Amino acid sequence: MKLALNYREIEGKSTGFWVLLGGLGLLIVLALGAVLHMEHSGHYVTGMSNQIVWGMPHVFAIFLIVAASGALNVASIGTVFGKPLYKPLGRLSGLLSIALLLGGLMVLVLDLGRPDRLIVAMTYYNFKSIFAWNIILYNGFLAITIVYLWLMMERKMNRYYQSAGYVAFVWRLILTTGTGSIFGWLVAREAYDMALLAPMFIIMSFSYGLAVFILVLMAAYNWTNRPLGNAILYRLKNLLGVFIAAVLYFVAVYHLSNLYATEHHSVERFILMDGGIYTTLFWLVQILLGSLVPLVMVYHPSIGKSRPAIATACALVIIGGLAQLYVLLIGGQAFPLDMFPGYEVSSSFFDGVVNSYSPSIWEITLGVGGIAIALLLVTVAVRVLRFLPETLDDGVVDPHAAKAD
Amino acid sequence: MSDNTRQMNSARREFLSKAGATAGAVAVAPGVFLTAPAAAKPADEKVSDDKRWGLLIDTGKCANGCDACVSACENENGWGGNDNSEKQSSEEQRAQWIRKVQLKEKATGHVSALPLMCQHCETPPCVDVCPTGASFRRVDGIVLVDKHICIGCRYCMMACPYKARSFIHEDLTDQKPWTPRGKGTVESCTLCVHRVDEGGTPACVEACKAENHNAMFFGDLYDENSEISQQLEQHGGKQIRADLGLNTGVRYRGI
């Protein structure tokens, strides 16, 4: 017989809980301090320049925004694709996606040259700009996901939540298409300018979002001593393996497409062979540590069953994801614009040379602050509202698996 | 005939029909119109799409080592120079509205140089991507940034194929009243819009003429009697990254 599913707030009285809140709070305070410094002095204190205009904050912000839409997948699999195993995870999935998006948006907005003019961005729209669409997509995502969560959590409204789940699922696909198109539709730079980036960002979101979700789930259940059965955990880590492989496929197609076109050979040579830090990050961190190693780990017959190994694989996917975005964003800007094919060019404005970028401590602190705010929101929310089932034991989530054991 | 020239010609015909009425005035005071390519626009008069302002640069005449156009722009608009107001910023962070680019053809070793600035595209990617509409194109072809609604997102800098835009990394002092600039916003060549609206020419063009190099021509691309149109008709002119189809207002000869 299937056991009843009860959601309950976490107790939140332990020292560990307060240490976690304090630690995250401290990271947020440091991030706000970094913002104050950057905005007061101007961006000269950062590593960005007129050659590399988007730096480390954008790597963190895009990662969080992409992971946010991916984190909602777990809820979508339960609601849209009707998989009962995933249904108990729906609330946490929705919560995590809202929290990650808010963290990412905070980083993005606070790195603006004039964050005080946010109201301008909310009132003046140029509808040809993908950025303007994204402002609508992000706000819409927050609103839809909040309604989705409410319908899921309010028993009286339960019968409507499936429709909201469909809307949220479609919206999140459009949202990540928008995020990928920020780069995919930039004709000026060789590393971007490819429609493939939109679907590639969607598949990246599946992978990053699920990795973050599994880690948060494991931490939440481990730290509160609530049971988390193997049935659900193994299902999630196997799915993560599929997503890692899918991202690898898209990365391969992206580079092969560029390699086929002779005009893009030099940018590919830069990323894959001569790019120094970008080449190292690509092969060592993105491909080896961030994709191949976790792929082997999650599918390995014995390692794949170890919880520390699953958590490590998730952490590696996240590190690999940050490296992937660093290579794409910063590497794509470091490679010089090719305005005069067939010519060697030089100027006082660094034409024709590989641009250098070293992230400042302020930018990194801001980025980490975005992650901290997302985790703080989740921690507080699961303390005050019923997001987490009391148990995710195999007997609760999947009686068949329990029987088989 | 390229599509772009054809676009220009159709607008040119339209211009000529409208300009017929003013032909008498040209005949009465020819000297005035020869020295000043455009009449001053009263401040309360709207910008008209009867004109499309453009630049032609003859790289054959652009002297290697000369940067008179760059210095003139610095003085006119208050950026760069020996007394650079961006004191805290690194070289990579300092604004450059116009720069001299040295070119060496790989196949032949031929060396040339040219000034590069905002190309004042007819369909500017910076205007397309700007979320707030701060990046805009005037109907007479001049691409500008409205510093009051620029939020400093720098997406326009990502989108510009010419790296023509600069972000201001620190507080600025001693600005020119006609060229407001500000920390946290993006700026670029304005084609000296403040001079053009008063019937003048951009500072860079004037400086090039003063040096007797005569490598830069400014004028109305729609007016077939303008010097720039006649030069383009006789010798042609290329666009940088013409493959993008942006129909730039700045054309080059000899590249």
Q: Which residue of B has its CA nearest to A336?
A: B163
Q: Which residue of B has its CA nearest to A116?
A: B151
CA distance B34 to chain A (A): 35
B18 has pLDDT over 70:
no
As a whole number of angstroms, the distance between CA A204 and CA A286 comes to 12
Q: What pLDDT, on a 0 to 100 scale, did the predictor assign at position B248?
A: 98
The CATH number for A44's domain is 1.20.1630.10
Q: Which residue of A has its CA nearest to B147?
A: A114
pLDDT confidence band for B14 (50 / 70 / 90):
low
Measuring CA to CA, which residue among B79, B84, B93 is closest to residue B181?
B79
Nearest by CB: B132 against A44, A53, A121: A121
Please indicate, yes or no, if residue A1 is contained in any of the structural domains. Answer: no
Interface of B with A in 186-205 (CB under 8 A): 186
Q: What is the DSSP letter of B62?
A: S
pLDDT confidence band for B35 (50 / 70 / 90):
very low
Predicted-complex ipTM score: 0.93
Please indicate, yes or no, if residue A180 is contained in any of the structural domains. Answer: yes
The domain in which residue A95 lies consists of: 15-337+347-398
The kind and range of the H/E element at B68 are: helix B68-77
Q: What pLDDT, on a 0 to 100 scale, did the predictor assign at position A380?
A: 97
Which strands make up the sheet holding B216-220, listed edge to edge?
B216-220, B53-58, B250-253
Measuring CA to CA, which residue among B28, B31, B107, B97 is closest to residue B69?
B97
As a whole number of angstroms, the distance between CA B229 and CA B252 comes to 13
Residues of chain A with pLDDT under 50: 1, 402-405
- Mutation target for A interface from B66, B106, B151, B168: give the one with most A CBs within 10 A: B151
As a whole number of angstroms, the distance between CA B250 and CA B112 comes to 18
Please indicate, yes or no, if residue A3 is contained in any of the structural domains. Answer: no
* Whether A118 and B185 lie within 8 Å, measured CB to CB: no
Number of domains, chain A: 1
Q: Which residue of B has its CA nearest to A122?
A: B132
As a whole number of angstroms, the distance between CA B85 and CA B83 comes to 6
Q: What pLDDT, on a 0 to 100 scale, did the predictor assign at position A1?
A: 46
- A125 contacts in chain B (CB < 8 Å): 131-133
B163 touches A: beta carbon within 8 Å: yes
Would residue B93 be called left, alpha or beta, if left means φ above 0 and alpha means ψ between -120 and 50 degrees? alpha
* Whether A342 and B153 lie within 8 Å, measured CB to CB: no
Please indicate, yes or no, if residue A403 is contained in any of the structural domains. Answer: no
pLDDT of B37-89, one tens digit each? Answer: 456 778 788 898 999 999 999 999 999 899 999 999 999 999 998 888 899 99
Q: Which domains does chain B have, with CATH numbers?
A: 3-253 (3.30.70.20)
As a whole number of angstroms, the distance between CA A353 and CA B70 comes to 21
CA distance B17 to chain A (A): 34
State the virtual CA torsion across A84, A86, A88, A94 in degrees, nearest 10.
-130
Q: What pLDDT, on a 0 to 100 scale, did the predictor assign at position A224?
A: 95
CA distance A127 to chain B (A): 8
* Whether B169 and A43 lie within 8 Å, measured CB to CB: yes
Please indicate, yes or no, if residue A342 is contained in any of the structural domains. Answer: no
- State how beta strands B143-145 and B135-137 pair: antiparallel
Q: What is the DSSP letter of B185?
A: -
Q: What is the DSSP letter of A390?
A: S
Q: What pLDDT, on a 0 to 100 scale, did the predictor assign at position B83?
A: 81
Please indicate, yes or no, if residue A383 is contained in any of the structural domains. Answer: yes
Please indicate, yes or no, if residue A286 is contained in any of the structural domains. Answer: yes
Within chain B, strands assigned E span 53-58, 98-105, 111-117, 135-137, 143-145, 166-167, 186-187, 216-220, 250-253
B28 has pLDDT over 60:
no
What is the percent of chain A where pLDDT is above 70?
97
B233 touches A: beta carbon within 8 Å: no
The answer to whether the beta carbons of residues A55 and A137 sit under 8 Å apart is no
Query: What is the sign of the dihedral through the CA atoms of A132, A126, B120 and A113?
Result: negative
The kind and range of the H/E element at A343 are: strand A343-347
Would residue B174 be called left, alpha or beta, if left means φ above 0 and alpha means ψ between -120 and 50 degrees? left
pLDDT of B130-178, one tens digit each? Answer: 999 999 999 999 999 999 999 999 999 999 999 999 999 999 988 999 9
* Whether A124 and B99 lie within 8 Å, measured CB to CB: no
Q: What pLDDT, on a 0 to 100 scale, did the predictor assign at position B82?
A: 83
- Mutation target for A interface from B129, B137, B170: give the one with most A CBs within 10 A: B129
- B129 contacts in chain A (CB < 8 Å): 128-131, 186
